[in-house]
Structure 1
Amino acid sequence: MCVGAQKGGTQWLYDQLALHPGFWMPPIKELHHFDAPGSRAGHARSILDRALSDPEGDNRRRAEHRRRLLEERDLTFLRAFIALREGATVEDYADLFAGKGEEASGDITPGYAVLEPPAIAGIAERFPRLKVIFMARNPIDRFWSALNMRLRRGDLKGRADATAVRRFAAREGVMQRSRQSVAVRRWRQAVPSGSFALYFFDDLVADPASLRRDILAFLGASPDVSIPIDVGFNRKSDLRKVEMTRDIHAAIRGIFAEELEACAEDFGGHAVDWATKKV
C-alpha cells in the first residue's frame, strides 16, 4: 500500500509496478476505499464500459499509452469495485484482490495519508503482512504541484501568485494533505518494524533506476526482470505548469516552515536540505 504523498511520484510508482511481471495491480490507481469510499466508482464504470464496448481497440489504446492490457480478472475487479456500497467493510475490500493469484498486488492511494490512527490500526491489523510505502517530497514543491493541478482543472481562478498561494492553503483539507511528517509518523507507528519504507521524490528525479530497484527489493520482487516501460517514464511530463517565482517560493516556504523542520528531523536524508533549496 502506497499511502502518499499526493504529487510525490505515486503515478510513476503505479506505472512501474503495473507493468512488472511479478505484480497484478488494479486497473484503477487510487481506490480510496478507506478515505473516500465510492468516489471512484464512476471512473471504474468508464474503464469497464470502454473495455466491454471494444476490447481490442481499448487494449490497443492502452498499449499506445503504456498501460497494462486488461484481462478478464480486471473486468471482474471493476464490477466488484463498482458494486461496493456505502458501509462496505475491510473484508469487502480484501475480496477485491482475489484475482491476483500468486502475484503481488497493492493499492496506491495518496489519500490514505490523512487517515486517523484508528483507521490505520484497523488496516494494519487486517493485513499483518502489509508493506507500506510513502513517497516524500519537498513540501514547497509538493504544494506548488498540487496548486498547478487545481489550476489545470479550473478549480482556481486568477493569477498564480503569492495571494493565490495563501488562498489555496486556506482551503479545507489542503494543509492536512500537506503534513507529510504527521502521516509518516502515524503509519510508522502502526505497522511492524521493517514493513514501512520512506522514499524521496528527489531520488526519482536524480536516479529513478536505483529508486525502482530499492522499492522492488523492499516489496520482495525481482528488480532484474524486464519491465516494458522506461524507468524514468513520466506520464505527466507534458502537463502545463506555471513557473514558481522567488516571491511564490518565499510565500510557500513561510507557510510550511514548521513542516519543513519536522520533515528534516523525522526523515533525514534529502529532507534536511529542503528548507534551503533555491528556486
Structure 2
Amino acid sequence: MKGPDFLGIGAQKSGTTWIYENLSLHPKVSFPAGKEVHFWDAGRDRGVDWWMDQFGPRQPGIRKGEITPAYSFIATDVIRELHGLCPDLRLFYVLRNPVERAWSAARMAVLRAEMTLEEASEQWFLDHFRSAGSRRRGAYAEAIGRWRSAFPAEQLLIVFFDDLRERPREFLSRLCDHIGVDGRAYDATSDEALQRAVFRGPEAPLPPRLRRDLINLYRAPVEELGHVLGVDLSHWLAEPVT
C-alpha cells in the first residue's frame, strides 16, 4: 500500500521547519518528497495517485510523511477525501499564540515584498493582520473542528509552540510517540542542538498599538480554542508588563 503515515498540518510560523529538520535526522522517519508537498491545498489537479506515489510503498518500521502548514485550513470535504484514502493517518498541529504568529508572519511578508521593517507602515501591518489569509491561519479552533469531523480525535495530536521552544526534547519525544517511532533516537543529541532555531525571520519587538489590535482581533478565537481544548489560554491575550 502506498501513501504517507503522517502529516503535519500547521500552523505557519510555529516551528514546523524545526520539526522537519529534526525528524529528518531520525533513522526511522522519511520525507520522500521534502517538507511541503502542497497537494491538498494547491495541487489536486495532479490527481491523488500522483500524491500517493510521492511516498512510495509503506515500509515496516519506517514512517513517511510531509508537513504542509497550509493543510490546516483546507475544506472539510477535502479532509474527508483524504481520510478515505488514508484513514489511519497520524496528524499533528502545532499551535502558537496567534498574536505572535501573525507578527512573525507579517515580518516575513515584509521581506517577501522586498521592503525593510522600517519601510513598512503601521497601516501596512494592520492590513496584513486583517487579511483573510492571515486570519484563517490563526483560526485554530475552526481548523481542529474540520479535521476532527473526518479523523478520530486521537489521530490528531495538538501541541504548542511554547513547549517546542521551552522543552524541545520532551516535545520531540511526544511527537515521535504519536507518529510511531522511538524518541530515544535523540538521546545523543545535545540540548544546544535541539534548542537551535531554524528558519527564524527578522527579529523586532511588536509595537504596543499593533499588539492591541492583534489582541482584539484574536480575543474571540482564543477564547473559543480554550473552550475546545479545555485549557486556559488567557496568557496569549495579556498585555506585556512594562
TM-score by structure 1 length?
Answer: 0.75
Identity of aligned residues (%): 25
Please say if 1:91 is aligned against 2:49.
yes
**134-143 or 217-226: bigger deviation:** 217-226
C-alpha spacing 1:156/1:168, structure 2 compared with 1 (3 Å) = farther
Aligned-pair Cα RMSD in Å: 2.2
Residue pairs, 1:189-204, within 5 angstroms: 189-204=149-164
Change (3 A) 1:126 1:12: same
Question: Higher mean Cα deviation, 86-95 or 25-34?
Answer: 86-95
- 1:162 to partner: Cα distance: 4.2
1:6 aligns with 2:17: no
- Provide runs of 4+ in structure 1 moved above 6 Å: none
Amino acid aligned to 1:196: L
Between 1:259-268 and 1:1-10, the stretch displaced more is 259-268
Q: Which residue of 2 aligns with 1:256?
A: 218
Of 244, 250, 254, the residue aligned with 2:206 is 244
Question: In the comparison of the two structures, how many residue pairs are matched?
Answer: 230
The answer for unaligned runs of 5 or more in structure 2 is 1-6
Cα 1:160/1:202, change in 2 over 3 Å: farther
TM-score computed with the length of structure 2 as normaliser: 0.86
2:21 is matched with which residue: 4, 15, 23? 15
Q: Does 1:105 pair with 2:64? A: yes
Q: CA deviation digits over 1:221-254, x for unaligned, max 9?
A: 10101476822232224x4222212222111111
* Aligned counterpart in structure 1 of residue 78 of structure 2, from 99, 119, 134: 119
Secondary structure of 2:89's counterpart equals coil
Q: Secondary structure at the residue paired with 2:67?
A: coil
- Quote the residue 2:185 is aligned against: 225
The runs of 5 or more residues in structure 1 that have no matched partner are 38-85
CA separation of 1:233 and 1:101: change in aligned 2, threshold 3 A: farther
What are the within-5 Å matches in structure 2 for residues 88-237 of structure 1? 88-98=46-56, 101-102=59-60, 103-154=62-113, 159-160=119-120, 162-226=122-186, 230-237=193-200
- SS for the counterpart of 1:5 is coil
